A and B are shown apart, each in its own frame.
Chain A
Amino acid sequence: MPADEPLITARGLTKRFGSFTAVDRVDFEIGRGESFGFLGPNGAGKSSTMRMIAAVSPVTSGTLRVLGLDPARHGPQIRARLGVVPQEDSLDTELTVEENLIVYGRYFDLPRPLLRRRAAELLAFVQLTERAGDQVEPLSGGMKRRLTIARALVNEPELLLLDEPTTGLDPQARHLVWDRLYRLKQRGTTLVLTTHYMDEAEQLCDRLVVMDGGRIVAEGTPADLIREHSTREVLELRFPAGGNDVDLAMIDGFAARVERLPDRVLVYTDDSDAALARVGTAGLMPEATLTRRSTLEDVFLRLTGRQLVD
């Protein structure tokens, strides 16, 4: 395939399980070297989309090309050039750290001497060199995740798919994973990831789509999305218990939108100082106020709602 062609192209991509539509006519393109994120609440269709890209889930309708190939006809050829970091660990816990990489590399028919060399390099990259000969079972969650990432790199993939790469990790472990993924991105590996952590998306993604109910509801860079779907700033007002239904008519003109949550009122505004001043002159006495920049989280909640998705 020509170098300027997208690495992944989806047109009207649809996945149905019986009568349930998991992915509903989505279009996207992912370019070489890009770091692309699928965001969305549980059940939005992110993982189903990823499984289709990974050539392990047949497309129901629409077209999908991965590395210029059709997953329905060239599944093994596509998978030979992908790295996959699944949401749930699938390591061989009875084997050692190094054996996990070698056994997995053999699935790609790579020769053992090459795999031993590559295992050493990859373990250094994910900072697990000292654990090479240890069994996997007692490793921490963060170490297992790093080992899974190393395993996904054993075939030197052009494209790395990561399904919720840091879910369940503590902050130190998450930052270490992000740091390694960032290095891969700098080396030119194309990263495609799903996440429901907005900070992860802001850290890692050049471009992302927000999915909800199987559809893509927004697409762009993190900055674009904030610009399009939120205001520059958010003013958070916390009133004494039961005081949330205050009349905020006086900030009309200063706020693009007001959202009342059980514990606080969010004022979406491009000028929080002016909005706050109007609140003060109107004699309202919030217990606490906080001014912050809009984040992807605001965009996300705006687009996908605050209802809990189980």
Chain B
Amino acid sequence: MATPATVRYLEHEVTIYRRLWRTSLVQSFLAPILFLAAIGGTVGKAIDRHGVGHFGGATYIEWLAPGLMAANAMQVAIQECFHPVLGGFKWTRNFLAAASTPLQPGDIVVGRLIWVGTRAVLMASAYLLVAALFGAVTRAEAILAIPVAALTGLAFACPASAWSATRERDDSFSNIQRFGVLPLFLFSGAFFPISQLPAAVRPIAYVLPLWHGVVLCRALALGHAGLAASVGHVLVLAAYSAAGVVAAVWAFRRRLHS
């Protein structure tokens, strides 16, 4: 029976990962440990002592951990889709190699994004496990936050792949990280409610995907997710992912079949 072409490309990513999983495993656990220890454990204790009351009855670390899980998924997904994608065209050229086989450009990019999504699920699971060990997650429904965090990752991974596939050089990546991803990470409601933001900038958070991922992961973990709002958040994340896939397939085709 024929293996679907996207899966055949996915096998390539898995083969590479078998060489690199140790580094990746350390990264998967280190990020949540550091963040939850540093911010959840210390800043969180101070906040809880003053009882500021923005966190719907939860402690700060309970409130922080699920949102941070979504924000972390974004960061990792973007990292996976900047240099490695440009490199597939320019440095390792493994996309060019794959394109000279029966694989079509769409198979290559979709296969790769399935892999990025799989990695995002694994990373989110590690995050949740660490959060549970920190006592930051207690409810079983929190497990639903794993696919939501992964989808948040894809909402960035897909458009980021499209962007990288249109680049000749890597100089835009660090600027996007600095002036786009980092502010988004800090101001999308993972560390504090966006009701604290000036009303003028709040719409930016509503329009971009991260806030939706953060809020939904948190609602699931704290057990107050409403159906309508949840569906709305998922639709926003899915729309960014879908538009990103379309753009990425277009960009890969333009580059590989020029």
Contacts and interface: CB of A to CB of B under 8 A. Distances in A.
Interface of A: 17, 54, 56-58, 75-77, 79-80, 82, 84, 86, 88-95, 99, 102-104, 106-109, 151, 155
The B interface is mostly helix, strand or loop, or mixed, namely: helix
Contacts of B102: 76-77, 79-80, 107-109
Given A90-B92, A107-B103, 13 more contacts: A57-B258, A76-B103, A86-B97, A88-B93, A90-B96, A92-B12, A92-B94, A95-B16, A95-B19, A104-B101, A107-B98, A108-B102, A155-B101
B100 A54 contact: yes
Contacts of B97: 86, 90-91, 104, 151
A188 B124 CA distance: 54
A92 B8 contact: no
Interface string B179-209: 0000000000000000000000000000000
Given A90-B93, A104-B97, A99 B15 contact: yes
B75 interface: no
Interface string B222-253: 00000000000000000000000000000000
Contacts of B52: none
B11 interface: yes
Contact of B16 (A56, A94, A102): A94
Interface of B: 2-3, 8-9, 11-12, 15-16, 19-20, 92-94, 96-104, 256-258
Given A57-B258, A82-B100, A94-B19, A106 B8 contact: yes
Contacts of A90: 92-94, 96-97
Nearest to A96: B19
Nearest to A51: B258
Could you tell me the dominant secondary structure of chain A's interface residues?
Answer: loop
Given A92-B92, A109-B3, A103 B100 contact: no
Contact of B11 (A79, A92, A103): A103
22 contacts: A54-B100, A76-B104, A80-B101, A82-B100, A84-B100, A89-B93, A90-B92, A90-B97, A92-B15, A92-B16, A92-B92, A94-B16, A95-B16, A95-B19, A99-B15, A103-B12, A104-B97, A107-B8, A107-B103, A108-B102, A151-B97, A155-B101
Contact of B12 (A54, A79, A88, A106): A106
A235 B4 CA distance: 63
B62 to A, nearest CB: 40
Contacts of A77: 102
The 9 residue pairs across chains A and B that have the minimum distance between CB atoms: A90-B93, A107-B101, A90-B97, A84-B100, A76-B102, A80-B102, A103-B12, A79-B102, A90-B96
Contacts of A54: 100
A107 B114 CA distance: 16
A109 B92 contact: no
Contacts of A103: 11-12, 15
Contacts of B20: 94
Contacts of B19: 94-95
B225 to A, nearest CB: 41
Contacts of A79: 100-102
A90 B91 CA distance: 8
A56 B100 contact: yes
A37 B154 CA distance: 46
Contacts of B12: 92, 103, 106-107
Contacts of B98: 107
A106 B258 CA distance: 24
A77 B257 CA distance: 15
Contacts of B9: 107
Given A103-B12, A106-B12, A56 B256 contact: yes
A178 B99 CA distance: 26
A104 B257 CA distance: 19
A162 to B, nearest CB: 12
Contacts of A89: 93
Contact of B100 (A86, A99, A106): A86
A109 B256 contact: no
B21 to A, nearest CB: 12
B145 to A, nearest CB: 32
Contact of B257 (A56, A84, A102): A56
Nearest to B257: A56
A150 to B, nearest CB: 13
B101 A108 contact: yes
A180 B101 CA distance: 22
Contacts of A88: 93
B92 A95 contact: no
Given A76-B102, A79-B101, A95-B16, A109 B2 contact: yes
Q: Which of A90, A92, A151 has the most CB of B within 10 A?
A: A90
Nearest to B13: A103
A122 to B, nearest CB: 16
Contacts of B8: 106-107, 109
A212 B93 CA distance: 28
Contacts of B94: 90, 92
Given A88-B93, A107-B9, A95 B15 contact: yes
Nearest to B20: A94
Residue of B20, B96, B100, B258 with most chain A CB atoms under a 10 A cut-off: B100
